[in-house]
Amino acid sequence: MELWFTEKQTKSFGITAKVKRTLHTEKTDFQDLDMIETEEFGNMLVLDGMVMTTQKDEFVYHEMVAHVPLFTHPNPKHVLVVGGGDGGVIREVLKHPSVEKAVLVEIDGKVIEYSKKYLPEIAGELENSRVEVKVDDGFMHIAKSENEYDVIMVDSTEPVGPAANLFTKGFYAGISKALKDDGIFVAQTDNPWFKADLISQVFSDVKEIFPLTRLYTANIPTYPSGLWTFTIGSKKHDPLEVSEERFHDIETKYYTKELHRAAFALPKFVQDLTK
């Protein structure tokens, strides 16, 4: 018998991956959590039926969420990751020696637990002494924070289920308040082929709150359309004006300093979503 996991990424399109075995399946307090071993992508974390991360391609998302804002900020010391319970963004954040403390606020402790168990090379750095892990509501954590962080990264699921309020103008206003005067934030904002309206809406909302708003992309094979977007809101520093000296050597598989800049050169139909 062959088992295939199929994610319907839209009502009429999806991806399908051959499954060796199911490692864990559970209805947590917040979502359906499945961890499966696939033949093509290794272990795969699936939340509410949607691929979150896989061993083979996780580096793209995690590197591109972390390094673009962290190289943009001249001296990031205090970093917050909202969501991201698999620990991949945290792992990348710690590659920046300026970072003294990285706080992870993940609403679902089970994501952390099973990522540590089945995705150890992603989640391993959650034990690092520079990291503080809080199992808590990211929206509430933001609401309570003021003038605290240099960089905030929103590594959420789609705007359905537990992450719905992480795609609201109120949340972006809270993030602005939680950031220091020259703070910068980034959020994953889905794909332009099937979710163009979402990208337009978020971009316009963030633009109302932050002096500088920019969109960039990366290729993630297991995400819908393979083209993912990230929206940056920045109080001061421009990701397109990073000085050469700011870049230091870090080990990456996707990010390069040339790609940092190139990722902001958008396909025409994506550029149009930011107008």
Residues that bind its own copies (CB under 8 A): 6, 10-18, 38-41, 56-57, 60, 193, 217, 219-221, 224-227, 252-256, 258-259, 261-269, 271
Nearest to 41 by CA among 222, 254, 218, 190: 222
User: Which CB sits closer to its own copies, 24 or 56?
Assistant: 56
User: Which CB sits closer to its own copies, 31 or 231?
Assistant: 231
CB of 245 to its own copies, least distance (A): 20
Residues with Cβ within 8 Å of 115's Cβ and at least 6 positions away in sequence, in order, are 45, 85, 86, 87, 122, 123
Rounded Cα–Cα distance for residues 229 and 218 (Å): 7
- 155 belongs to the catalytic site: yes
CB of 74 to its own copies, least distance (A): 23
Rounded Cα–Cα distance for residues 238 and 152 (Å): 15
Rounded Cα–Cα distance for residues 247 and 242 (Å): 8
| CA 196-197-203 angle, 5° bins | 90
CB of 203 to its own copies, least distance (A): 18
| Run of H or E including 22 | strand 13-27
Rounded Cα–Cα distance for residues 213 and 274 (Å): 9
Residue 72 main-chain phi, psi, to 5 deg: -75, -45
The one catalytic residue in 34, 108, 150, 155 is: 155
Where is the binding site for S-methyl-5'-thioadenosine, in residues? 31, 106, 137-138, 162
Q: In terms of C-beta density within 10 A (0-12 exposed, 13-18 middle, 19 or more buried), how is residue 157 classed? A: buried
Rounded Cα–Cα distance for residues 124 and 190 (Å): 26
Where is the binding site, in residues? 31, 62, 86, 106, 137-138, 155-158, 162
Which residue stretches of the chain are H helix?
58-72, 88-93, 109-118, 120-123, 138-144, 169-178, 196-209, 257-262, 268-271
CB of 220 to its own copies, least distance (A): 8
Catalytic residues: 155
